[in-house]
Copies of this chain bind each other. A is one copy, B any other.
Amino acid sequence: MGRSGGVGGPDLVDHGPVDHGPVDLKLVDHGLVDLELVDHHCHGLVRRDLTRPEFESMLTEADRPGPPGTTLFDSQIGLALRRWCAPALDLPPHADPETYLERRAELGHAEVHRRLLGASGISTFCVDAGFQPEPLTGAEDLAGFAGGRGLDVVRLERIAERAAVDVLTGQIGVTHLADTVRARLAERTPSTVAVKSVAAYRAGLALPARRPTDREVAAATRTWINEIRGGAAIRLHDPVLHSFLIWCGVEARLPVQIHVGYGDADLDLARGNPLLLTGLLRAIAPTEVAVLLLHCYPFHREAAYLAQVFANVHLDLGLAINNTGRGSIGLIAQALELAPFGKFLFSTDAYALGELFLLGATLFRRGLAAFLADGVDDDAWTAADAARIARLVCADNARRVYALS
C-alpha cells in the first residue's frame, strides 16, 4: 500500500495507514495492517477543490457549522482525520486543521484522493451513486484512485422516482409503475451487485411486511402522483411503495441494503430503528435473499440481534465508524456481541471526501484488531480464530453476499 515516491523530500514518507501506539501492536500481530478490504457501501468523490466551510460541511452529519468559536474539527472525526490523514499528505500526525487544509489545496483534490484511497487498502468499492447534490465520481473512476474495482449499488427510490416522472409525462400509466420498476431493475448493468433503500429517511422503517400487491402499488402511486401534481417534490415517501421496492430487490434476488439508524439532520432517527423492520425481515427470511442493515448506530445491538436470529440478515457500522473516530473501537465490540462473524461487514459510507475512505479503513482495522487481540490476550479465542474472523469481516463476507469472484 506504500506509494512509489521520488528521492528526498516529503515523498519519501511512508503513507501506510497506521503508525504505532498501543493498538498498533495488535494490528501488526494480527495481520490487520494490510488485510484487503471490500467496502460494500460507499459513494463517489467530489471532483473539485473545496473551501474550508465546504470541507467541514462534508466531514460530518451536521447541517451547518457549530456555534461561533467552535469548529467541527473538535470532534472525534476531526481528531481522527488530523491523526490518520495528515501523514498521507506528508504532514506530521495531528497537523492542525489550517495546515492540513493548506496542504490539501496545494496538492489538489485528485492527488489527495489518489493518496488517501491508495493508503486505505480497499480493493473493491460498491458504490451507491443515488445521492448527488453535485456530480461525484462513478464507481469505476473512484476505484481507479485505489487501483481497485468498482461495482454499483442501485438506489431503489431513484428508480421509482424516474418511473414517477414517466407517469407525470404521460409515457406510462399510473398502473404501470410496478412493471416499469421491475423492468428497470431487470435491465441493470452487469456491475450492479445490490439495491439500496433509503426508506429510513422518508417513511421510516415501519414498513408493511407483506409484499404489496400491484393493485396496492397502483393506489399508492396514484396518491403520490397527485401530491406531486399538487406541488410536492418528486420524493418517494410512502410505506407501501418503499416495501414494494424492497420486495422488487428480493424478487430480483439482489442483496438489499437498507439504511438504518444514524444519518444527518433530515432524519427522524427514532423511525430508523431496525426493530421496526422485524416483520418485513421475517417475511423475507424464507427467500434467503441477503439483507444488509447499514450504519445502525445507536441501534447496532438491535441490528446485531436481527443478524443473529435471521439467517439472511447482515449489518455494518458504516457511517458510524468514521464519525465516532476512536470511539469506534467500542462500537465494533458491541456489534460483535451477538452478530455471528459471518454476518458483519466493512463499509466506509464515504461520501465526497477521500479522507473518509482512509479514515473508515484505518479505524475499522484498528477497532477490529483491538477486539480480536483482547480476546487472544485473554485466551478467549486463538490467533487462528482471530485471523479467520478478520478475513470474514474485512472481505470474505462481502464476497459471499455479493458473489464477487
Chain A interface (Cβ within 8 Å of chain B)? 19-23, 60-72, 74-76, 79-80, 82-83, 93-94, 262, 264-265, 267-270, 273, 275-276, 278-279, 282, 285, 288, 290, 297-298, 301-302, 305, 308-312, 323-327, 330-331, 333-334, 336-343, 375, 377-382, 385, 388-389, 392, 400-401
Mind listing 29 A-B residue pairs with CB under 8 Å? A21-B379, A60-B340, A62-B311, A62-B340, A63-B309, A63-B311, A66-B342, A66-B343, A67-B288, A69-B400, A70-B340, A72-B340, A74-B388, A75-B341, A76-B337, A79-B380, A80-B380, A94-B385, A264-B309, A265-B282, A265-B309, A269-B275, A269-B302, A298-B301, A323-B338, A324-B337, A325-B337, A325-B380, A327-B338
Question: How far apart sit A301 and B309, CA to CA, in the bound complex (Å)?
Answer: 22
**A297–B308 contact, CB under 8 A?**
no
**A22–B385 contact, CB under 8 A?**
no
**A67–B326 contact, CB under 8 A?**
no
Question: How far apart sit A330 and B378, CA to CA, in the bound complex (Å)?
Answer: 14
**B340–A75 contact, CB under 8 A?**
yes
A326 and B69 contact, Cβ closer than 8 Å, known pairs A278-B269, A298-B305: no
A379 and B83 contact, Cβ closer than 8 Å, known pairs A282-B265, A337-B331, A342-B66: yes
A326 and B63 contact, Cβ closer than 8 Å, known pairs A381-B94, A389-B74, A392-B74: no
**B311–A67 contact, CB under 8 A?**
yes
Question: How far apart sit A46 and B268, CA to CA, in the bound complex (Å)?
Answer: 42
Collect the chain B residues with CB atoms within 8 Å of residue A21's CB.
377-380
Question: How far apart sit A265 and B313, CA to CA, in the bound complex (Å)?
Answer: 12
Which residue of B has the minimal Cβ distance to A385? B79
Collect the chain B residues with CB atoms within 8 Å of residue A388's CB.
74
Rounded to whole Å, the gap between the CB of A369 and the closest CB of chain B is 12
Question: How far apart sit A22 and B62, CA to CA, in the bound complex (Å)?
Answer: 36
Question: How far apart sit A391 and B382, CA to CA, in the bound complex (Å)?
Answer: 32
Collect the chain B residues with CB atoms within 8 Å of residue A267's CB.
309
Rounded to whole Å, the gap between the CB of A158 and the closest CB of chain B is 24
Rounded to whole Å, the gap between the CB of A83 and the closest CB of chain B is 6
**B340–A336 contact, CB under 8 A?**
no
Collect the chain B residues with CB atoms within 8 Å of residue A93's CB.
379
Rounded to whole Å, the gap between the CB of A300 and the closest CB of chain B is 9
Which residue of B has the minimal Cβ distance to A340? B75
Collect the chain B residues with CB atoms within 8 Å of residue A82's CB.
381
Collect the chain B residues with CB atoms within 8 Å of residue A311's CB.
62-67
**A378–B79 contact, CB under 8 A?**
no
Taking a contact as CB atoms closer than 8 A, the residue among B63, B276, B333 that contacts A270 in the complex is: B276
**A310–B265 contact, CB under 8 A?**
yes
Collect the chain B residues with CB atoms within 8 Å of residue A72's CB.
340
Known pairs A76-B338, A327-B333 / 5 extra A-B pairs, C-beta < 8 Å: A60-B308, A63-B310, A80-B380, A297-B301, A324-B338
Which residue of B has the minimal Cβ distance to A286? B64
Question: How far apart sit A119 and B336, CA to CA, in the bound complex (Å)?
Answer: 27
**A298–B309 contact, CB under 8 A?**
no
Q: Which residue among A76, A338, A382 has the maximum number of chain B CB atoms within 10 Å of its CB?
A: A338
Question: How far apart sit A327 and B330, CA to CA, in the bound complex (Å)?
Answer: 11
**B324–A330 contact, CB under 8 A?**
no
Question: How far apart sit A61 and B340, CA to CA, in the bound complex (Å)?
Answer: 11
Collect the chain B residues with CB atoms within 8 Å of residue A327's CB.
333-334, 336-338
Rounded to whole Å, the gap between the CB of A17 and the closest CB of chain B is 14
**B262–A400 contact, CB under 8 A?**
no
Collect the chain B residues with CB atoms within 8 Å of residue A380's CB.
21, 79-80, 83, 325-326
Collect the chain B residues with CB atoms within 8 Å of residue A60's CB.
308, 340
A308 and B61 contact, Cβ closer than 8 Å, known pairs A21-B378, A83-B381: yes
Q: Which residue among A76, A273, A340, A382 has the maximum number of chain B CB atoms within 10 Å of its CB?
A: A340
